Amino acid sequence: MAEKIYRVNMTNLTTSTEPVPDKWLGLGGRGLTSTIVAEEVEPTCHPLGGKNKLVVAPGLLSGTVAANSGRLSIGAKSPLTGTIKEANSGGTAAQMLAKLGCKALIIEGLPKGDAWYTLLISEDGVTIQEEQELVGKGNFDVVATIGKRTDEKHGIITIGPAGEMKLSAANISIKDPDSHLRSSGRGGLGAVMGSKRVKCIIIEPTDAKVEIVDQEKFTEANRAFTKALVDNPISQALGTYGTNVLVNIINEAGALPTRNFTSGQFDGHEEISGETMHDTIVERAGKPKHNCHKGCVIQCSQIYNDKEKKYKTSGFEYESIWAMGADCCVDNLDHIAEADHLMDDIGVDSIETSVAMGVAMEGGLLEFGDGEGICRILREDVAKGTPLGRIIGCGAASVGRAFGVTRVPVVKNQAIPAYDPRAVKGIGITYATSTQGADHTMGYTIATNILGVGGSVDPLSHEGQVELSRNLQIATAAIDSTGMCLFIAFAALDDEKCLPALVDMINARFGADLTADDVTNLGISILKTERAFNEAAGFTNKDDRLPEFFYEEPIAPHNVVWDIPDEELDKFWDF
């Protein structure tokens, strides 16, 4: 099926399909979302106004049988950071959109009335339907209700009550193969979808296949690529313990932010570790291995059941467990799982919201360690949009302002994730310089700083950190454009056959003749496009800084501060 652009104008409630412009043909995923946003959105516009656009794009290899190629990118100007934003997730939507020939879905304008809408995407294009039944429902009810209306094979992209309320931490959820949820979590893109009064997007299944120019070459390359992923020891550890295997590792490194970033180690780390979680899942007849999208060979996801062996949450990730666990000093996995379930249903970023809870605890709202209190506030305040709930649902910086807290771990207004930059200097470079606010996935230096993947760079040293972060941010931007899971990077950094196999798959898919240098250049181009948008929006190098408390407060056990000079940070963009 020929690729095309699907465009939805919510102002006049019309849809259209367009041929893909030549300049967009070689782009997918983040490369395409950021390019469209940069070309079509005024950088100074209000993120929740009519000039912002929500762009949904599968990757270059989405819809094929390539291993781990089921990631979907969603982009817009972020209401949380004010920067350009791309958030991606697994689920079934990317592969389904690609098979329908959807190169990108662009949602623009604002409807004039108070009605809500669903979008139905099929082989015939996009249909706008007024929606009443789903309005106000949580994400789990949305998926269940649509399943009854259609069948469980339909893809679903949805927002919860947080998106309807346009909270700055609202995410966009994607149905996964088991009708659970995956989240495009960061940056508040659920609020952008809510501003356009689109409750959900439903995707009809199709028997159509993505065209591959050289099937034999593609199959051969995919075989080599899959073997590199499966054989990688970090892939194997992720498949056994999930991403939460990192709790004990990062705690040992003294980089596990604890009690609102006042320490690098958490006394209760064993209780919330990946090893403990694995054993609990097995005891309760859950699934310690689970794929967030079809074709994943790492299977770092899992299904976590409660004490009655009933489903509680899935995709129980390290960053979410850290944030509600160590950062809030909660050492009860069941409380954290309940909070994760609630945040999935409400539709808020589990990193942003959990870090906001840690800031609120410092402000005296709750005692540190009060997991039940966190769940109560999620149910009674965030889900219902009370004044307190809206403050928390707009993120950590919002809470800091409301409660007069000065230790607020954000960059460009976005909460810093699960690695303290004082103890891992490389990730601090990523947090500071990322075009999208503090985000570990933009350039995951933990791979090299802590795990020794792709070499070794001392996490406490200044030496080589800017170059490390820059190289990984370039590589990440390219990976995010392919539709591949970021975790392919572990194999790509350590197995000389992995990256060439990925390039060979892209070439076989499109009949192209790309090299590894072309992939690198794609990543550079994406970063420069995003940077230019931010500069036009008013951001400068002064925004590429960490909060002042990192410079002033040493973190135990290393008793170190953030001491990378500003002039070193400014060298990041010298390429």
What is the secondary structure of 484-501 as a DSSP string?
A: --TTHHHHHHH-TTHHHH
Is residue 253 in a domain?
no
Interhelix angle for 233-241 vs 274-283, to 10°? Answer: 50
pLDDT band, very low/low/confident/very high, at 81 (cuts 50, 70, 90): very high
pLDDT at 2: 82
- Give the lowest-confidence range in 150-159, 186-195, 219-228, 409-418: 150-159
Given a contact cutoff of 8 angstroms between Cβ atoms, the answer to whether 437 and 47 are in contact is no
Q: CA-to-CA distance for 420 and 562, rounded, in angstroms? A: 9
**% of the chain exceeding 70 in pLDDT:** 100
What's the pLDDT tens digit per position in 336-358? 999 999 999 999 999 999 999 99
C-alpha torsion sign, points 208, 212, 218, 219: positive
**Which one-letter amino acid corresponds to residue 374?**
I
Claim to verify: residue 271 and residue 344 sit in the same structural domain: yes
Is residue 246 in a domain?
no
Is residue 487 in a domain?
yes
**Which one-letter amino acid corresponds to residue 365?**
L
pLDDT band, very low/low/confident/very high, at 291 (cuts 50, 70, 90): confident
Strands 116-122 and 198-203: parallel
pLDDT at 174: 97
pLDDT at 250: 98
Total structural domains within the chain: 3
Across the range 291-298, mean pLDDT stands at: 89
Domain extent for 571: 212-241+421-575
Is residue 410 in a domain?
no
Whether residue 293 is predicted with pLDDT greater than 90 in this model: the reply is: no
The residues facing 120 across adjacent strands are 127, 202
pTM beyond 0.95, yes or no:
yes
pLDDT band, very low/low/confident/very high, at 263 (cuts 50, 70, 90): very high
Claim to verify: residue 16 and residue 118 sit in the same structural domain: yes
Whether residue 210 is predicted with pLDDT greater than 70 in this model: the reply is: yes
**Which one-letter amino acid corresponds to residue 73?**
S
Helices (H) and strands (E) in the chain, counts: 23, 17
Claim to verify: residue 186 and residue 45 sit in the same structural domain: yes
Claim to verify: residue 272 and residue 192 sit in the same structural domain: no
Number of other CB atoms surrounding residue 289 within 10 Å = 18
At 15 the three-state DSSP class reads: strand
Whether residue 108 is predicted with pLDDT greater than 90 in this model: the reply is: yes
Strands 311-314 and 301-305: antiparallel
Q: CA-to-CA distance for 383 and 136, rounded, in angstroms? A: 10
What's the pLDDT tens digit per position in 490-545? 999 999 999 999 999 999 999 999 999 999 999 999 999 999 999 999 999 999 99
Selection from 556, 571, 575, 319 nearest residue 465 by Cα = 571
Claim to verify: residue 193 and residue 226 sit in the same structural domain: no
Q: Which two tokens mark 253?
A: 């490194």
Residue 42 is part of a domain; what is its CATH number? 3.60.9.10
pLDDT at 388: 98
Q: CA-to-CA distance for 60 and 506, rounded, in angstroms? A: 7
Claim to verify: residue 133 and residue 41 sit in the same structural domain: yes
Q: CA-to-CA distance for 348 and 100, rounded, in angstroms? A: 29
Claim to verify: residue 232 and residue 361 sit in the same structural domain: no
Across the range 198-221, mean pLDDT stands at: 96
Q: Which two tokens mark 12?
A: 């006049």
Residue 375 is part of a domain; what is its CATH number? 1.10.569.10
pLDDT at 294: 87
Residue 497 is part of a domain; what is its CATH number? 1.10.599.10
Claim to verify: residue 235 and residue 337 sit in the same structural domain: no
Phi, psi of 244 (to 5 degrees): -70, -5
Q: CA-to-CA distance for 334 and 327, rounded, in angstroms? A: 16
Q: Determine whether 406 is exposed, middle or buried from the number of CB atoms within 10 Å of its CB (0-12, 13-18, 19+).
A: exposed
Across the range 85-108, mean pLDDT stands at: 97
Given a contact cutoff of 8 angstroms between Cβ atoms, the answer to whether 359 and 259 are in contact is no
* Average pLDDT value over all residues in the chain: 96
Claim to verify: residue 426 and residue 524 sit in the same structural domain: yes
Selection from 11, 387, 376 nearest residue 165 by Cα = 387
- 96: CB partners within 8 A, 6+ apart: 63, 155, 203, 205, 206
Q: Which long-range contacts (CB under 8 A, 24 or more apart) does 217-223 make?
A: 217/504, 217/507, 217/508, 218/64, 218/66, 218/504, 218/505, 218/508, 218/509, 220/504, 221/501, 221/502, 221/504, 221/505, 221/508, 222/65, 222/66, 222/67, 222/501, 222/505
Is residue 413 in a domain?
no
What DSSP designation does 262 have? T
Is residue 294 in a domain?
yes
Whether residue 152 is predicted with pLDDT greater than 80 in this model: the reply is: no
Is residue 492 in a domain?
yes
Claim to verify: residue 298 and residue 162 sit in the same structural domain: no
Claim to verify: residue 74 and residue 106 sit in the same structural domain: yes
Is residue 274 in a domain?
yes
Claim to verify: residue 332 and residue 377 sit in the same structural domain: yes
What's the pLDDT tens digit per position in 382-418? 999 999 999 999 999 999 999 999 999 999 999 999 9
Across the range 365-374, mean pLDDT stands at: 98
- Give the CA distances from residue 199 to residues 71, 165, 235, 305, 558, in Å, rounded to whole numbers and listed in that order: 21, 11, 36, 28, 47
pLDDT band, very low/low/confident/very high, at 1 (cuts 50, 70, 90): low
